[in-house]
A and B are shown apart, each in its own frame.
Chain A
Amino acid sequence: MSHAQVLFARMAEHPTDSHTLVMYEATGGYVQARRAMDMTRDEIVELVKTSGLLGRGGAAFSAGLKWSFLAPARPAYLVVNGDESEPGTFKDRQLLERDPHQMIEGIIIASVANEVREAFIYIRGEYPKPARRVQQAIDEAYAAGYLGKGIFGTDYDLDVTVHLGGGAYICGEETALINSLEGKRGEPRLKPPYFPAAKGLYMMPTIVNNVETVSNLPHIFEMGTDDYRALGHATDTGTFLFSVSGHVKEPGNYELPHGITWRELIFDVAGGMREDRGLKAWIPGGASAPWFVPEHHLDLEITKEATGAAGSMLGSGAVVVMDETTCVVKAAERVVRFFSHESCGQCTPCREGTTWLEMILRRIEAGSGRPIDAELLLDVSDNISPGLTWPPKQTTICPLGPSAVSPITSVAKYFADELRQHIVQGGCPLD
């Protein structure tokens, strides 16, 4: 495999000390943050816009554009979203553990760009080890004068605080994350009016960026926007971190350009199927994404556009691969159970809908499915996301509810017979 390694380069070349300040600086670290100190907000925002960097947390929105929306009131805050909890996703954990200074340098750049003096890193509670690594790196950066009062000898003050979550997926949603950081229940806020760039943390302008997004910034500065764009695909610039899991021979995080095919990703990069079994389906972009199947999607190019046109999304880059022995009803039940468990409960369609979907799937898998259940699953789904379109329509404050519909529509579309067999036979045909 000869794809350019950027975010993973340092940890690959210096496996035992890529997390230390000494190694970070020995490999060119904090040079770009120093450069950013001499640039204006407009210059940095323009540079990031030109780079084409899209947010890596799942929504794939232009990072530079997001920054340009920042309202003029101050103080402004930066919150780095390290609440990585989308089933199948484990890329941020690797960035946090193995190269925390890369993210911190990105935080400095993002802070200067957005006139931020106080930044927070929200790390999920189940990630104590990544949090410890990041805290060690922050402590080193403070001691070196790269964080704290007058960073890099300028008159710019910047404080960074690690905040550990409490085990709630919903806090990955940016307004829920902000509520959580304010010491409240992690319930999403309505947008409008609560767009973080205008009314975010403590009702002040706030930028929320994913760990991977921020970790890209030093490289955009170092390479320049032309070279950075050239790493990727015309519309999807830079590299992208894929978390591949499930029934492949070599699961793991892979840094790749957009534009390769799913066949290449699953069969070359991830080593192909375990025990050389047949490929049944895969989730292309985290639990929220509608599934793909080999008959239709294997030779599709992996880009945001092509994936969207085929009715799914790249989301957080989590690819969950299922072989021919997988019961799709059980797989769907597991994904739906997740959303049911993680629903914050504010909106009725999500709270009630995900609960019912989980119960119906469970009884089908257990052999007590009713003839009407296949239809009922779609009916309940339609009440959560009217029309069952892609991208989904929302009856809820945030996209969590509609995400739970993805596995249902996937099974209905590609595996209707298997679902029906469960109901007719009174049990799983694969058992």
Chain B
Amino acid sequence: MSLWPADVQERAKELIGRYPDPKSAVMPLLYLAMRQDGYLTEAGMGEVAGWTGHTPAQVQSVATFYGMFKTEPLGQYLVSVCTSISCMLLGGDDVLEAVEEATGVPHGETDAERLFSVEHVECLGACGGAPAVQVNYELIEGSTPDQARALCRWLQDERPEVVNTDDMQERFGGRRSFDWAIAESENAVGPYPAFGPYGTTPGGEV
């Protein structure tokens, strides 16, 4: 018996159908489970095990291997600050400090009302627009401590239901790695990557 509503089950079936072996669908299904519960609960991981044919222990071992699968409750906004070499050279550490200060949340933690989770992360592939920040994996390049503080205040005051990379870049970003050129219409709805086939965007319709 699945814990998931019928439409989510349909999505799970579709995702499994994309691979020659159902076991391969464990990562997309873990993202689906995160969207259902906000993070990976033991029940959610058990559900993924049932769908993919892994044991619950195998699913847990996969989930804990990858940094983006979170097994503790997360805030509505996961703010990730890159402090790898290129971002560090251009002030990524100061941006991290500003984010921790503005949210009151240190690296690796979530506040009591589950609004913010904060982490410093390794290279986000935005080195030409360093320092880089992501909110729910949506990118902002060319940040500064002041802009990062303003970003956190905006999230706190406005509590947007979705976040859009272009919108945040426009308000709180600076130099980009390259010209983004094309308007991004998709938005992230929670602390997991917004990708339609995984049902983790508004367009994904789960």
Contact = CB atoms under 8 A, between A and B. Distances in A.
A97 B186 CA distance: 14
A164 B31 contact: yes
B130 to A, nearest CB: 6
A126 B124 contact: yes
Contacts of B73: none
B8 interface: no
Given A129-B184, A334-B88, A118 B68 contact: no
Contact of A245 (B24, B67, B86): B86
Contacts of A252: 128, 177-178
B125 A132 contact: no
A326 B89 contact: yes
B123 interface: yes
Interface stretch (B15-23, B101-109, B110-118): B15-23
Interface in B167-190: 175, 177-182, 184, 186, 188
A341 B107 CA distance: 15
A47 interface: no
Interface in A278-295: 283, 287
Interface residue range, chain A: 35 or more
A168 B65 contact: yes
B54 interface: yes
A86 B123 CA distance: 7
A351 interface: no
Interface residue range, chain B: 35 or more
B165 interface: yes
B148 interface: no
A161 B24 CA distance: 12
B62 interface: yes
Contacts of A386: none
Nearest to B59: A183
A37 B188 CA distance: 39
Of listed A89, A90, A322, A338, residue having the most chain B CB within 10 A: A90
A182 B23 contact: yes
B101 to A, nearest CB: 21
Contact of B68 (A126, A185, A341): A126
Interface stretch (A15-23, A38-46, A102-110, A395-403): A15-23
A335 B85 CA distance: 6
A17 B182 contact: yes
Contacts of B186: 129, 132
A126 B178 contact: no
A365 B184 CA distance: 42
A165 interface: yes
A167 B68 contact: yes
A76 interface: no
A285 to B, nearest CB: 13
Interface in A84-117: 84-90, 92-94, 97-98
A126 B134 contact: yes
Contact of A342 (B61, B122, B175, B198): B122
A284 to B, nearest CB: 13
A243 interface: yes
Given A88-B127, A89-B127, A183-B24, A166 B85 contact: no
Nearest to A85: B123
B158 to A, nearest CB: 21
Nearest to B63: A166
A253 B84 contact: no
B90 interface: yes
Nearest to A136: B196
A318 interface: yes
Contacts of A185: 61-62, 65
A246 interface: yes
Contact of B88 (A18, A132, A330): A330
Given A88-B127, A331-B89, 5 more contacts: A15-B181, A16-B182, A132-B196, A166-B66, A320-B86
27 contacts: A11-B181, A15-B179, A15-B181, A87-B127, A90-B128, A93-B126, A97-B180, A125-B193, A126-B68, A126-B80, A126-B125, A127-B125, A128-B138, A131-B195, A132-B194, A165-B27, A167-B121, A182-B24, A184-B23, A185-B65, A247-B90, A251-B129, A251-B175, A287-B123, A331-B88, A334-B83, A338-B84
Interface of B: 18-21, 23-28, 30-31, 52, 54, 58, 61-62, 65-69, 80, 83-86, 88-90, 121-130, 134, 137-139, 165, 175, 177-182, 184, 186, 188, 193-198, 201
